Amino acid sequence: MFSFAFGLLFSILIVIATLLVAYNGILFFAGFSFRPKQRKSALLPSISILLAAKNEGAYISQVLAQLVQQDYPQDKYEVIVSEDGSTDTTRQIASEWVAKYPGRIKLVMSEKSIGKPAALNRALALATGEIIGQIDADSSVENNLLRSVARAFEPDVIAIQGESSVRNKNQSLIAKLTSYEHDVWNRFSLKGRARLNLFVPCTGNLSFVRHTALKESGGWDRNALAEDVELSLQMWLKGYKFEYHPEIKCKELTVSRLRSFYRQRLRWYGGYFQSLFRHGNLLRKFSLQAIDGELLLAGPLSGVLGFMILSLGAIAILAKINTIQIISLTPYTIAAYTIFSLVSTFAAVKFEGERNSWKLMPAIYFYWLLGSFVSSVAFLKVIFRRKIAWTRTEK
């Protein structure tokens, strides 16, 4: 009886995991045929760029220098830095830029860290632009960024999400592997969703939203671990959606250390699970976008399922449970990890031109296994209501 129940549970997990893998496979192939909408607005809306900054003293000068040099009318945009209780030189550097460019750069400060969502809301309270943009303080942008944004904002457009790439991928093995995952997410998952007219989320960097729609949606939820996805959901529930525009670009930093990877992904995955449980009623507005929204939030579950299946398979073998079903199905999970590894390698070869990335396949394989472990920890923390802190990720 025990063996039967064990095998039944194992089979159910395999079916769910297979369906999730198949669904992401559809998005992957749909991404190949994605073509962005050709928006050619001649309007020049006023734009407010928000930068939430905590301990960004090493990077913030670069992005501020790039933003004040935009090929865009100076009276049509502003940069608002929301300093969040920094303990380094961030506040001093930002103050110097404000003094140099009064009116164009604004600064709001907090003696105590209040978290990125709350910091963004403080900046939003000062914003006067018709369009609100969010850019990470460690990003790098071209001087035509705002021109590209304005061109995309035709009157019927409410929100757009640009495409970021990793600029420190050669800093460490972890940085290189996360850059591969980043490519898969941007080049295939987001493009696939846009191609199929599904739920395109805000990714937390290089997103632009009409001020009125952002206000109506309540701004950023200060209690959300994944405030970007939560904002996307709140806007969708109001009838708004994001368009994906890969021609709007920036470069950003990714984590380069294992400890930073763990903390970042714990918060990300915990945020997705948090929103999944909070918005379990999305399907009341039944549509393909609602289904995709739920599946997006459930994405980290594929890691949890994979980790559970491998663990159950190991337990079955070690405990000598006579369940042929378990032993025969375990290879499917191993195959799924292998497919993920191949996709990441393919993305690195195709889009980054890294011909030698095939040599990293074993590392990519265990990278996904590590991600599965972290998603499992995040799932348990959310289920048992253990706190996951919103902290700045050291790069």
Q: Judge whether 90 and 83 are in contact, CB under 8 Å.
A: yes
Number of other residues whose CB lies within 10 A of the CB of residue 214: 25
Delimit the domains of the chain by residue range: 47-173+185-254
The more confidently predicted of residues 286 and 65 is: 65
Confidence of residue 360 (pLDDT cuts 50, 70, 90): confident
This model's pTM is above 0.85 = yes
| Chain mean pLDDT for the chain | 87
State residue 63's pLDDT score.
98
Q: What is the mean pLDDT of residues 122-131?
A: 98
Task: Give the span between the Cα atoms of 51 and 135, in whole angstroms.
Answer: 6
H-assigned helices in 161-300: 173-184, 191-195, 211-216, 227-237, 258-278, 288-297
The number of residues making up the chain comes to: 395
Rounded-to-10 torsion of CA 51, 55, 59, 60: 40
Q: What is the mean pLDDT of residues 66-74?
A: 97
* Ranges assigned E (strand) in the chain: 47-53, 77-84, 105-110, 131-134, 159-166, 207-210, 242-252
Q: Span 47-173+185-254: which CATH code?
A: 3.90.550.10
Asked if the model's pLDDT at residue 325 lies above 60, the reply is no
pLDDT tens digits for 212-253?
A: 999 999 999 999 999 999 999 999 999 999 999 999 999 999
State residue 388's pLDDT score.
80
Q: What is the mean pLDDT of residues 114-130?
A: 96
The two tokens of residue 183 are 């490519």
